[in-house]
Structure 1
Amino acid sequence: MKLKSVLLLLLLTVSFISTAQIAADDILFSVDDTPVYASEFVRVYNKNLDLVKDESQKDVDAYLQLFINYKLKLAEAKALKLDQKTSYQKELKSYRNQLAQNYLTDNTVTDELVEEAYTRLKTDVKARHILVKIDANASPSDTLAAYMKIVKLRKRLIDEGFEKVSKDVHDGKELFVEDLGYFSAFRMVYSFENAAYNTQVGDVSQPFRTRFGYHVVQVLDKRPARGTVKVAHIMVDKNKPGDTISNPEARINDIYKKLNQGESFESLAKQFSEDKSSSDRGGELAPFSMGQLSSNEFEEAAFNLVVVGEVSEPFKTDFGWHIVKLLDKKPVPPFEEIKAELEDKVKQDTRSERINETRIQDLKDKYKVTEKQDALPYFVKILNKKYYTNTWELPSNFTGDKELLKLGTKSIMYRDFGTFLKDRQMLFSDKVPYSTIVDINYKAFLDQELKIYQEANLENEYPEFADIVGEYRDGLLLFDLMETEIWNAGISDTIAVKAYYNSHKEDYIWNSRIDAVVAASVEKKVVKKVAKLLKKNVPLEDIKAKYNVNDEIHVIFTSGILEKNHQSLPESFEFKTGISDIYEFNDGYIVAKVNTVLPQSPKSYEEAKGNVISDFQANKEDLWMQELHAKYTVTVNESVLTEVRNEINNQ
């Protein structure tokens, strides 16, 4: 064969390999007789690629082993019939219903709704409300009773005032009289938001209904929105049983005095803030807007700061004591900048009946449902006066087996609408003609059936929806399996866990610790003097009295059992008894009096229990996986695996 022909053949071979596509029905492997398709493996591999931290798991063959183990567990879960559990099916249904909302909301978003939302985002409303709680599916009589109750409470609110009504009727169960503070668009359900923004300052709205029940809202103030704020904070926890700090307020005030003496906010946050999620970052928090946090006091303190770098006085919340520093403040962004975000929010929010109407019309077009329904006169004829008294029944000669309409592949029968009519008695007074009753009910029935059919067929209409639901279905099943086979055993099988501890004691060791007092100051000369006093065993209170005078805090002490990585100690700190060297640390200086060095020592079972249970579970899972590999037959299609490797490697 000529060289040119050989090169051409090689080129064609490489081209074929790099462009080969995996077919939808290519089986990568099977677990017993259950096939697992290559397309699923490639999709899951690519989806999870960025989430995998272990580089070895990015290798196709290594990931294949993980995937095989995953499928073995699913096979075992089904063998144990965990997928037939009522709790599993209920939770899966709940998740699917939630996910479906993203696909059921009409994509048409009017400029009017988006602009309305933006206008409201630029205004904060301060309001309080009264709620008479009632179930969304409450009976007409209960609904009327709730409505009459809110009407009376509205009058009392106007005549007697909020505080009096709140004291008399708020029970936190059926009746709620609450101060809501400031909020803006998307913070409340849409009907509540509408009432608040459409009510004048000082007025009380007319009663209105949300899914929670009947409300009236009293608007106290409207002001330009404050946008978002970014702050750092120093927090001292509230007292808890066994705390070594007896007076959190005094400690926060000491820290505040050090701030006023010019010490670094970030440094003090690293040293003394007890919010462990932010202390390492100098107390820095993520940006937030009004109504976003669960503490009104914290939000107000943060937004009341004006100049970047400004620091608040100490203040108290339900979480403890705080000092807040302003890092950044931004107004509501321009409309064009957040328009896309607003469109997404509006699509997910039932903000207008027009959106629902558009959706229904689209479904009618999709499933070829005509506006005219020739069968309605038949249903008008079978109604009688008993319908108004909730005693009406379908006639004995009712034509239930006749098709009323067809949605895709589903036939809707006369009996379906007949049952719907029967179930909705007592919703109409005897002043409503039969024809109107049938028309209103048919519209509601058709809307319901269109939505039911669309939702039931989402997997067929949206492949990505089918993939997500499938992943959750398997994930939920796997969770139940692991809980049954592994996690519960680690908690309940105390004898086995203790036996595991006894055979692995060398794995559970205390690191070195010290019983010490640590003195911290921004001034090195103060630390030197404190070191001398500590060496003479001068009581801490006497040292504080000597150096923290005239409302100036020059030294703060931390004492107790401290581990190597304690926030008060530098990494280079030497663990030995006596007075330590002076260390430069966190923009200041520290010295420690080490009373005792606690060397490495074995942990007791109780001390190591959490880690022991975790290790026991991991070991049990390893042994269990060996059993599953022996129980089920896994057959890998090597030729398809080669195609998978080529496709992934050539991406």
Structure 2
Amino acid sequence: MKLRYRLTLILIALILGVEAQSVQKDVLFYVDDEPVYTSEFLRVYNKNLDLVQDESQKDVDEYLTLFTNYKLKLKEAKALELHNKSSYKRELSNYKKQLAKSYMTDAKVSEAMVKEAYERISYDIKANHILVKVGENASPEDTLAAYNDIVKLRNRTLSEGFEIVRKEVHNGRTVFGEELGYFSGFRMVYKFETAAFNTNVGDISQPFRTRFGYHIVNVLDKRKSRGERTVAHIMVVEKKGDTLAEKPEVRIQDIYKKINQGEDFEALAKQFSDDRSSASKGGVLKSFSSGQLGSPEFEEVAFGLEEVDAISEPFKTQYGWHIAKLIAKKPVREFDAVKGELEQKIKRDDRSKLIDEALYASLKKKYNIGDQPALKYFESILNDDYFKTIWKLPNEFTGDEPLVKIGKKQFLYKDFGNYLLKSQRRRGASGSIQLLVSKKYEEFLNSNLVRYHEDNLETENEEFAHIVDEYRDGLLLFDLMETTIWNAAKTDSTGIQDYYKTHKSDYVLPKRVDAVVASSAKQKTLKKVSKLLKQGMAIDQIKALINSNDKIDVIFTSDIMDAEHQALPKSFQFKEGVSKTYKHNDAFVVVQVKDILQEKEQTFEEAKGAVISDYQSYKEENWLKDLGDKYKIQINQDALKNIKKQIKK
């Protein structure tokens, strides 16, 4: 947000500094006769500057090429009238409604609510629950039946024990009895969170309702939040086809022994961890807090490590065998440091209707909405028929009288009258007509205030307008690319085959070796291993000779490897036999090459995925050339020079 404001101020200053320039210089280029302004280019360029990975895209001329291609595609999409498709309009409308929600909660969030949220993220609750499922819009009969069921279940838990009842009644369809583990604020829906935090440890809550149905919760523990952990790990999984046929629990124990012998954890992770996404980073994972991981076993071990650099014993999860090392631990931040973040979370959360009420109050003020004297008239025309759902507007109803004006939209008596007609609900005994009319008018007014504000956000909020424009264009481009390039390329079997035939040399498997890599922290050990390998001794025999139950001096890795394989040194020479000793990843390695697999041209079936992708790029490149011929691009060189000066500053 701050960046946008800074850019806006910069642009204003620039505009004030170039008053002598003509309106013509505000246009950066034309697509046929359609102008594209420098302000749009600058806004998009600056917004995306930190996102692009390719340095060439930060060059103004290179980025201008991308931008003109983007505009050419949009021009074609509109020429094909893709923006008139019902599916496009529906998706754009849904997106605008979703996006608008984040712009409809500008009201100040109460300090008490933020403090409550902070208190809850500062603790972890461990709980189990029983849920009797019932829909939000269920009939009164079904709702009452669900409530009666949860009351009966609670009474049973008090006499029989919560866990006994929970396990017995769970069927995974209408009744759920689940273990939830530990959770803190914002991990559950607000009503559930509130019930859990307001129930004492060891107690069972009173029945409460969420959008899922009726619950009771049994709170098992409450503890101070353990904050956030950053850990590294080495993971070993079972590999089918591994010529060493080594069980993962044996391999992880070998690695653990090397750690205990003083070898570097990071180096071992780089060499042996089967988690490829973290191995290259020494096994380091993204930071996490309680309840964020899909593996409670891993989480418990990670949070059980107290001192930085502490290393766990090998342990098993559903993903494989692990050794974890604590890299950093961070406690819950102080209130002032996290307050702004909590406010944003609360605005997106169902924490309280107070936020909605604050929004309604601000919109009433924005659109100068005062008291409504017409309510007396509506009180006079309503009667008990309303509670029987048979009420109708009287024949003499004055529907064309003005009721309330929101912005530029005038609402009439008939608008509220029709709302009353449609919102009749059977409620049993009748109530106060005055309270009914007041409540219904508030519902009517609030919903129309929000709807009007939402419908006019594009004209009232510049940031919202820009985001909608970007999404609008993105939808069009996706539809265009899908119909013109992607789908067409996939179904053009003849074109794909022809492309493969003329580009066969691009689809070649690199030179590879069938090899065993021996790794050790000790160069002396590898000299002995190298000698034994040259003598033809089997790997299992070498391991038995070099390693012992208490000490692991060498670990072997067997695979088909190309030059980029993590186990091979960068300077490794592909040659059959036993290699020299290399220094690699803070250890020493010797490679026994059993066979060299030469470069091999892939068959069409082997390379099909890559061929289709390349063919799509080829078609797109030629298509863009055709669009460039179809729609003339005229660039205003003076405006481009001015942009380059501004960006250099």
TM-score by length of 2: 0.91
SS of 2:64's equivalent? helix
SS of 2:558's equivalent? strand
Are the structure 2 counterparts of residues 63 and 588 from structure 1 closer, same or farther at C-alpha, using a change threshold of 3 Å?
Answer: closer
Percent identity, aligned pairs only, is 55
Q: Report what 1:205 is aligned to.
A: 205
SS of 1:51's equivalent? coil
Instruction: Give how far 1:409 is off.
Output: 0.8
| 1:4-15 map, 5 Å | none
Instruction: Give how far 1:648 is off.
Output: 4.2
Indicate if the aligned counterparts of 2:399 and 2:414 stay in contact, CA closer than 8 A. Answer: yes
Q: Report what 2:175 is aligned to.
A: 175
SS of 1:622's equivalent? helix
Q: Report what 2:411 is aligned to.
A: 412
Does 1:271 pair with 2:275? no
Q: Report what 1:236 is aligned to.
A: 236
Q: Report what 1:250 is aligned to.
A: 250
Q: Report what 2:283 is aligned to.
A: 283
Q: Report what 2:338 is aligned to.
A: 338
Q: Report what 2:376 is aligned to.
A: 377
Q: Deviation string for 1:124-164 (max 9, x for gaps)?
A: 11112223344434444443343333333333443444444
Indicate if the aligned counterparts of 2:403 and 2:411 stay in contact, CA closer than 8 A. Answer: yes
Letter in 2 for 1:129: H
Are the structure 2 counterparts of residues 97 and 141 from structure 1 closer, same or farther at C-alpha, using a change threshold of 3 Å?
Answer: farther
Distance 2:91 2:174 in 1: 27
Q: Report what 2:36 is aligned to.
A: 36
Q: Deviation string for 1:548-570 (max 9, x for gaps)?
A: 32243222211121111111111
Instruction: Give how far 1:396 is off.
Output: 4.7
Q: Report what 2:8 is aligned to.
A: none
Distance 1:597 1:39 in 2: 58
Are the structure 2 counterparts of residues 136 and 221 from structure 1 closer, same or farther at C-alpha, using a change threshold of 3 Å?
Answer: same
Q: Deviation string for 1:585-613 (max 9, x for gaps)?
A: 22222112111111222222233223222
Letter in 1 for 2:153: L
| 1:204-603 map, 5 Å | 204-237=204-237, 239=238, 242=241, 247-370=247-370, 372-426=371-425, 428-603=427-602
Instruction: Give how far 1:639 is off.
Output: 5.3
SS of 2:201's equivalent? coil
Q: Report what 2:125 is aligned to.
A: 125
Question: Cα RMSD between the aligned structures?
Answer: 2.7
Distance 2:219 2:246 in 1: 42
Instruction: Give how far 1:503 is off.
Output: 0.3
Indicate if the aligned counterparts of 1:520 and 1:590 stay in contact, CA closer than 8 A. Answer: yes
Distance 2:186 2:134 in 1: 22
Are the structure 2 counterparts of residues 591 and 79 from structure 1 closer, same or farther at C-alpha, using a change threshold of 3 Å?
Answer: same
Q: Report what 1:632 is aligned to.
A: 631
Distance 1:102 1:151 in 2: 38
SS of 2:274's equivalent? coil
Instruction: Give how far 1:634 is off.
Output: 3.5
| 1:45-56 map, 5 Å | 45-56=45-56
SS of 2:50's equivalent? helix
Q: Deviation string for 1:199-221 (max 9, x for gaps)?
A: 11111222223333332222111
Instruction: Give how far 1:368 is off.
Output: 0.8
Indicate if the aligned counterparts of 2:208 and 2:214 stay in contact, CA closer than 8 A. Answer: yes
Letter in 2 for 1:518: V
Count of matched residue pairs: 635
More divergent stretch after superposition (81-90 vs 305-314): 81-90
Letter in 1 for 2:315: F
Distance 1:63 1:20 in 2: 28
Are the structure 2 counterparts of residues 448 and 610 from structure 1 closer, same or farther at C-alpha, using a change threshold of 3 Å?
Answer: same
Distance 1:25 1:386 in 2: 68
SS of 1:234's equivalent? strand
Q: Report what 2:185 is aligned to.
A: 185
Distance 2:194 2:361 in 1: 25
Instruction: Give how far 1:108 is off.
Output: 0.8
Are the structure 2 counterparts of residues 555 and 645 from structure 1 closer, same or farther at C-alpha, using a change threshold of 3 Å?
Answer: closer
Are the structure 2 counterparts of residues 22 and 414 from structure 1 closer, same or farther at C-alpha, using a change threshold of 3 Å?
Answer: farther
Letter in 2 for 1:634: I
Distance 2:307 2:631 in 1: 67
Are the structure 2 counterparts of residues 338 and 383 from structure 1 closer, same or farther at C-alpha, using a change threshold of 3 Å?
Answer: same
Are the structure 2 counterparts of residues 162 and 269 from structure 1 closer, same or farther at C-alpha, using a change threshold of 3 Å?
Answer: farther
Indicate if the aligned counterparts of 2:507 and 2:607 stay in contact, CA closer than 8 A. Answer: yes
Q: Report what 2:82 is aligned to.
A: 82
Distance 1:285 1:637 in 2: 49
Indicate if the aligned counterparts of 1:22 and 1:38 stay in contact, CA closer than 8 A. Answer: no
Are the structure 2 counterparts of residues 423 and 318 from structure 1 closer, same or farther at C-alpha, using a change threshold of 3 Å?
Answer: farther
SS of 2:49's equivalent? helix
Distance 2:125 2:646 in 1: 56
Distance 1:269 1:289 in 2: 23
Distance 2:73 2:95 in 1: 22
Are the structure 2 counterparts of residues 88 and 149 from structure 1 closer, same or farther at C-alpha, using a change threshold of 3 Å?
Answer: farther
Are the structure 2 counterparts of residues 58 and 287 from structure 1 closer, same or farther at C-alpha, using a change threshold of 3 Å?
Answer: closer
Distance 2:55 2:34 in 1: 30
Indicate if the aligned counterparts of 1:22 and 1:39 stay in contact, CA closer than 8 A. Answer: no
Indicate if the aligned counterparts of 1:513 and 1:564 stay in contact, CA closer than 8 A. Answer: yes
Are the structure 2 counterparts of residues 97 and 15 from structure 1 closer, same or farther at C-alpha, using a change threshold of 3 Å?
Answer: closer
Are the structure 2 counterparts of residues 122 and 36 from structure 1 closer, same or farther at C-alpha, using a change threshold of 3 Å?
Answer: same
Instruction: Give how far 1:326 is off.
Output: 1.0
Q: Deviation string for 1:559-584 (max 9, x for gaps)?
A: 12111111111111111001111112
Q: Deviation string for 1:599-642 (max 9, x for gaps)?
A: 22222223322322221111100111122122234344555555
Distance 2:49 2:20 in 1: 21
Are the structure 2 counterparts of residues 18 and 78 from structure 1 closer, same or farther at C-alpha, using a change threshold of 3 Å?
Answer: closer
Instruction: Give how far 1:20 is off.
Output: 6.0
Are the structure 2 counterparts of residues 369 and 43 from structure 1 closer, same or farther at C-alpha, using a change threshold of 3 Å?
Answer: same
Gaps of at least 5 residues in structure 1 are 1-13
Q: Deviation string for 1:500-520 (max 9, x for gaps)?
A: 111011112222100111111
Letter in 2 for 1:536: Q
Are the structure 2 counterparts of residues 329 and 533 from structure 1 closer, same or farther at C-alpha, using a change threshold of 3 Å?
Answer: same
